[in-house]
Amino acid sequence: MRTEKKVAIIVATALMLVGISMISVSVSGAGLDYKKLVKTENYEEKTYDISEGFNNIELSIGSNDVIIKKSDDSNAHFTCGENEKIVFEVGVKAGTLTIEEKSVKPWTISFNLDITPIDNVLYLPKDSYDQLSASLGSGDITIDHGFDFSELALKIGSGDINVSNVKCQNKFSADTSSGRITVAGTTSDGSFYSRTGSGKINLSSCEGVTLEAKTGSGSITVSDCDATSINMHTGSGDITGTLRTGKKFDVHAGSGDVRVPSDSGTDTCTIKTGSGDIEISVIQQ
């Protein structure tokens, strides 16, 4: 290796260590609570009241949590935090409610985290909608009411997805580049898809015609789940749980123990892990 390249590597490593040290000191000074590093001043809580009717929902949020729950009245409402840098455009057009986060002023480099301290909460008046698509740069998505959708598509750059008691007629999709996916009591009459680049997947009482659960690194746990075709894959981690009915199993483990029932029925289940154990049982043999 040339001398100048060695020097460059040494300098880059030293700068990285200095940066890590600075972050550690800051977090320690904040009592190991990163939220104390977040700039919370100059945010105003704002509520958008939506009286127009709609059947489709499109959310585009930069960086903050999103919670979707039932409204207490016949209108929809969206609460959020705004300041001179961040505002939201909220409106209904051609039957679609659109909520989009806008940056008013260009961001400047700051050692402090600049994250809205107020959760984005969407209150929906009806139980049933056609399509809901939500895209977040970073933050968690939580749906804590038994809504019915034709299609539900959730996509996050970095954050967790939490869904409970939702029914989809055609498609359920939960996708995060890094974060945990937790879904309970949720079914799809079509496809059921969950993927995370790095993080755990926990599915409980979930069902689809096809069911996929994939993670680059992390465990997959299924409890009382079923589908005509099941595909579970992790690069590194365990795959464990229970299925409702018997399957024809196609199982591959790079390293680890494998325990699955004998083949039964015509439905298929493919399970793969690069490193980790596989342990699946069937409730109804």
Q: How many helices (H) and strands (E) does the chain have?
A: 1, 23
Give Cα 53 to chain centroid, integer Å.
27
What are the sequence ranges of the domains in the chain? 3-35, 170-285
Centre a 10 Å sphere on the Cβ of residue 53 and count the other Cβ atoms it contains.
13
Q: What is the pTM of this model?
A: 0.83
pLDDT value of position 43: 83
φ, ψ dihedrals at 273, nearest 5°: -140, 140
Helix, strand or coil, per DSSP, at residue 85:
coil
pLDDT digits (tens, 9 = 90+) for 159-206: 999 999 999 999 999 999 999 999 999 999 999 999 999 999 999 999
pLDDT digits (tens, 9 = 90+) for 223-271: 999 999 999 999 999 999 999 999 999 999 999 999 999 999 899 999 9
